[in-house]
Structure 1
Amino acid sequence: MLLKKILLMLLVSLLALTPALPETAEAKPVSPDFVELAKRLNPSVVNIRTAKVVKPRANTGRRAPHPFFGNDFFNEFFAPFFGDQFQQPQQRSRKEQSLGTGFIISQDGFVLTNNHVVNGADEVLVKLSDGRELKAEIKGQDEKLDIALLKLADGKSTFAAAELGDSDALEVGEWVMAIGNPFGLSQTVTAGIVSAKGRVIGSGPYDDFIQTDASINPGNSGGPLFNAQGKVVGINTAIIANGQGIGFAIPINVAKSVVSQLKSTGKVVRGYMGINFQGLDQSLVKSLKLPSDKGALITNVEKDSPAEKAGLKSGDVIVSFDGKPVVADTDLPKLVAATPINKQVKVGVYRDGKRRDLILTVGLAKDAPAEQTAAAQGEQAGVGISVQELTPELARQLRLRDVRGVVVSEVKAGSPAEEAGVVRGDLVIEVNGQRIESIAGFAEAVSSVRKGDMVRLLLRRPNGTFGYVAMKAE
């Protein structure tokens, strides 16, 4: 009897444990409920239609070809006989239209989209998910970030607004969903994952894109990229021509940082240092005695700029700005631009292999891009060049002002300089940190260089950019 009770208790225990067994197995990722997300989020996404009037070109008076003659000689010959038939028809102004996407960010009708969707438009019409079409006013534009803020004209309605998320917290591999107006097909939903973050695609100094394989096509521009919780994490902006599964979105945190300025003033004011800079490679790291290749190498400091007043110099490597690390050279423009004007910040640099901190007062950015990255020049160069004095005539030909140095007149064939891409017309400003103002100064600077030594040159390239090059001397 006792044995039966024990067996019965064991059986009951096993049955109780059975439902829990699957929970002990390895958990499998579950995709979001895209059906529920689409229903909930569609009302916050709008289609944007713009129109602008294109004026005709001035009439040159050139006669149009007669239908029976395709030859200019015959056209001119028969013109006196046919008169006005040969005159061009009067051209009229025409209206160009384009389509895009946007999303509502506040219940009172503010809409975010790409600047290129509405730039130059004479009229902006916004179509809501319920079919209503409203006029919209362009409240602010930021060409550098390609962001525009619109305001719906209907001040009586309350609109469904999308919730803005945190793009910094976004992880590669997360599910994302795009809603937009590709090729004019309204309220199209596509889904995919975050393929990469921090992409630089050459659109400007503040590149910092989210890459996704969620399908994005022409007409999606300005539309929202949602995460699995239904929060906006990006603004769909660009695609690679002929590419599949490669789309780019502006991180929503970047947009959030400028929305208040666009709303209040219609434009964005950015911080400014006044430098040119470039990235680092292993040759430069060794030459500059740096602990790593992280940072931005200053190649030029503008006269009377905040950087010059702070004591920054060509050859300094910026590794931190206002307490934030500068890992890649592309990090610096974004950090500077986001800093309030007149704020004093600590700039961490390496100079002569030693770490130091300088205090810089951030200035107001000019119309031109505040900080420009020097173009990479391929492999770096050593001494394998002939130089000549920078005469006033040569300075005029090379369009040089307020810059001293010697001009590269010849690059030795097969030399490291040739392999590095040094060309005639490059201006040598520094050799191993020593300023060069004459041929004698250049000769003195290179006289101590021995075979196998690292040589670092600061060059002003023919295209106007500044850049460091470094390599072993032969």
Structure 2
Amino acid sequence: MKQIVIITCIGAVCIQGAYALESVFKNDDTSTTVNHAVVGIYALVTNSNKEVNAYYAQKQRESSSGSGVIMSAKGGIVTAYHVVRGADVITVTTYDKKEYEAVVTGFDEFCDIATLKVKSGMPVESFLSFESSENIRPGHRVILAGSPLGLAGSFTAGIVSAVNRVGVGNGAVNFIQFDAAANGGNSGGPLLDERGNVLGIITAKYRYSAGIALAIPSDLVKQTIDQIVKRTPNRHASCGMYVTEMNQELRMLYPGLPAQGVFVSGVAKGSPAQKNGIEFGCVVDAADAVPVRTFYDLFSVMRNKSAGDTVTIGYRNRRGEPVQASVVAAERSIRERFDPWNFFRIHLGVDVSEREIAGTNRFVVRQILAPEMTKYAYRFQEGDVLYRIRPGGVYAVYESPVDTEQLSYLLNSSIIFDDSLLYLDAVIGRPDDTPRFHKRVTFEVPMRSISF
């Protein structure tokens, strides 16, 4: 009996060993080719970006690291723009640990794509080709290559979890979602098929959730690179409205919403949408006669538009009346923000107004729109004063918002975990309370609005 058990265990070990040695690539040489075509990138920021308005001063990084892909025999490199954003010195490290100085030759901040050129001396042993991302489907096997945490030549494998993932970030990219392990330093590296072709460029990992990472699809990467090479930058179109997909919370907040469409949760001041009567609480149900039910429906129309193009928006106003508007799109601005009033309404369920208290401008809860939202434990009462805010982030400090611009900045700084979560501390109290009786409340709310 013991002999049978021993033979079974040895057999199991042999089978497991044979499986472990099987390559994730179709060809065993592919890993070498990929390894020689993927580089590590180290970007150093030495100059501070000083702006007149301190509220909008950008937080400067001392350094960042990521990966990149050699995409041609001439040594051109593509990476994620956020890896090299604002860098004064960029160092590229090849598989054999040799370092070369590089410069940015072009970028698209909205698509998060940048191209680099090594100044001189880098031999090109291999480069990778792009495979169309059009036929990618959930369940397809994918491989990541790059330098996570500085560990060059690392590979991880997984599957495609979803495609056309639009409800993330600024709404300019239809991401590929995958479950392969991605870590700091993978950004800018390739998402590969089993033949070593590039299906996308890795751009983000959800730090708040395990097994969720995103890549920019190769078709969009190729289109962006082509525009950079031809020096014809994409003037991304924007109507200036923020939308949220319908959900149960919205229907509790606003009974009587139409069955189909996306909810307008904010409109930029002076935007094309505002000029055409679109406002908070409207529901967009069509774009260029295409029915709109999800983010992707609206994205599929807007991605083919440039600034100056006209898009016909069908929507229902706050009285439920159908309206058609011919909206001339503006050029999207990286500074785009919607006003804080709409932000409080859609994410916190309260209406806020400005009021002078003891000679100082303050923000006061004017009305509770949705008592049901107290399940998030930020128990507002009408008349509460927002005395101080500490935005999300390890080193954040409390500030007392005294004007709309500062409040907008503090709210924007509180959107963390790759734009997926609003987190901030607030100190609130009654107008006649002394600081001793002020109370601290914590906001932790999923973000579900993107701009178009």
Choose which of 95, 107, 110 in structure 2 pairs with 1:141. Answer: 107
Residue by residue over 1:35-62, the C-alpha shift from the partner in whole angstroms, topping out at 9 and shown as x without a partner, is 243244333322223445489xxxxxxx
Helix, strand or coil at the partner of 2:83: helix
Q: Is the 8 A contact 1:225 1:234 kept in 2?
A: yes
Helix, strand or coil at the partner of 2:159: strand
Q: Is the 8 A contact 1:272 1:337 kept in 2?
A: no
CA distance in 2, matches of 1:331, 1:179: 32
- Tell me which residue corresponds to 1:362: 329
Q: Is the 8 A contact 1:234 1:250 kept in 2?
A: yes
Residue by residue over 1:429-460, the C-alpha shift from the partner in whole angstroms, topping out at 9 and shown as x without a partner, is xxxxxxxxxxxxxxxxxxxxxxxxxxxxxxx9
Residue by residue over 1:241-275, the C-alpha shift from the partner in whole angstroms, topping out at 9 and shown as x without a partner, is 49654433233334344334444559763212123
- Tell me which residue corresponds to 1:116: 82
Helix, strand or coil at the partner of 2:28: helix
Residue by residue over 1:403-442, the C-alpha shift from the partner in whole angstroms, topping out at 9 and shown as x without a partner, is xxxx855769x9668679775369xxxxxxxxxxxxxxxx
Structure 1's 390 and 263: CA in aligned 2 closer, same or farther, altered over 3 A? same
Question: Which AA in structure 2 matches 1:281?
Answer: N
- Tell me which residue corresponds to 1:46: 39
* Superposition deviation, residue 339 in structure 1: 2.0
- Tell me which residue corresponds to 1:235: 201
* Superposition deviation, residue 177 in structure 1: 1.0
CA distance in 2, matches of 1:253, 1:371: 30
Q: Is the 8 A contact 2:139 2:159 kept in 1?
A: yes
Question: Which AA in structure 2 matches 1:49?
Answer: Y
- Tell me which residue corresponds to 2:216: 250
Structure 1's 53 and 366: CA in aligned 2 closer, same or farther, altered over 3 A? closer
Q: Is the 8 A contact 1:222 1:235 kept in 2?
A: yes
> How many residues are matched?
348
Structure 1's 260 and 463: CA in aligned 2 closer, same or farther, altered over 3 A? same
Helix, strand or coil at the partner of 1:258: helix
- Tell me which residue corresponds to 1:72: none
Q: Is the 8 A contact 2:356 2:362 kept in 1?
A: no
Residue by residue over 1:64-102, the C-alpha shift from the partner in whole angstroms, topping out at 9 and shown as x without a partner, is xxxxxxxxxxxxxxxxxxxxxxxxxxxxxxxx7654210
- Tell me which residue corresponds to 2:313: 347
Larger relative contact order, structure 1 or 2 (CA cutoff 8 Å, min sep 6): 2
Q: Is the 8 A contact 2:265 2:346 kept in 1?
A: no
Q: Is the 8 A contact 1:271 1:363 kept in 2?
A: yes
Structure 1's 321 and 127: CA in aligned 2 closer, same or farther, altered over 3 A? same
CA distance in 1, matches of 2:348, 2:208: 31
Q: How does 1:302-451 map to 2 (within 5 A)?
A: 302=268, 304-322=270-288, 324-329=290-295, 332=298, 336=302, 339-351=305-317, 352-353=319-320, 355-369=322-336, 374=343, 377=346, 397-398=361-362, 409=366, 423-424=381-382
- Tell me which residue corresponds to 1:212: 178
Choose which of 262, 265, 269 in structure 2 pairs with 1:296. Answer: 262
Helix, strand or coil at the partner of 2:308: coil
* Superposition deviation, residue 154 in structure 1: 4.2
Question: Which AA in structure 1 matches 2:140?
Answer: E
Structure 1's 159 and 34: CA in aligned 2 closer, same or farther, altered over 3 A? closer
- Tell me which residue corresponds to 1:169: 135
Q: Is the 8 A contact 2:83 2:188 kept in 1?
A: yes
Choose which of 118, 142, 152 in structure 1 pairs with 2:118. Answer: 152
CA distance in 2, matches of 1:314, 1:336: 20
Q: Is the 8 A contact 1:104 1:159 kept in 2?
A: no
Structure 1's 169 and 419: CA in aligned 2 closer, same or farther, altered over 3 A? same
Structure 1's 230 and 463: CA in aligned 2 closer, same or farther, altered over 3 A? same
CA distance in 2, matches of 1:309, 1:240: 36
CA distance in 2, matches of 1:418, 1:178: 42
TM-score, normalised relative to structure 1:
0.58
Q: Is the 8 A contact 1:149 1:263 kept in 2?
A: no
Gap runs ≥5 in structure 2: 1-22, 49-61, 385-403, 412-452
Question: Which AA in structure 1 matches 2:30?
Answer: L
Q: Is the 8 A contact 1:201 1:207 kept in 2?
A: no
Identity %: 29
Q: Is the 8 A contact 1:114 1:146 kept in 2?
A: yes
Helix, strand or coil at the partner of 1:167: coil
- Tell me which residue corresponds to 2:69: 103
CA distance in 2, matches of 1:347, 1:147: 29
Is 1:183–2:149 an aligned residue pair?
Answer: yes
Q: Is the 8 A contact 1:44 1:161 kept in 2?
A: yes
CA distance in 2, matches of 1:136, 1:392: 53
CA distance in 1, matches of 2:211, 2:117: 32
CA distance in 2, matches of 1:242, 1:418: 23
* Superposition deviation, residue 232 in structure 1: 1.5
Structure 1's 127 and 362: CA in aligned 2 closer, same or farther, altered over 3 A? same
Structure 1's 54 and 266: CA in aligned 2 closer, same or farther, altered over 3 A? farther
CA distance in 1, matches of 2:167, 2:311: 29
- Tell me which residue corresponds to 2:28: 35
Helix, strand or coil at the partner of 1:186: coil
CA distance in 1, matches of 2:111, 2:358: 39
Is the radius of gyration larger for structure 1 or structure 2?
1
Q: Is the 8 A contact 1:318 1:350 kept in 2?
A: yes
Helix, strand or coil at the partner of 1:339: coil
Structure 1's 177 and 416: CA in aligned 2 closer, same or farther, altered over 3 A? closer
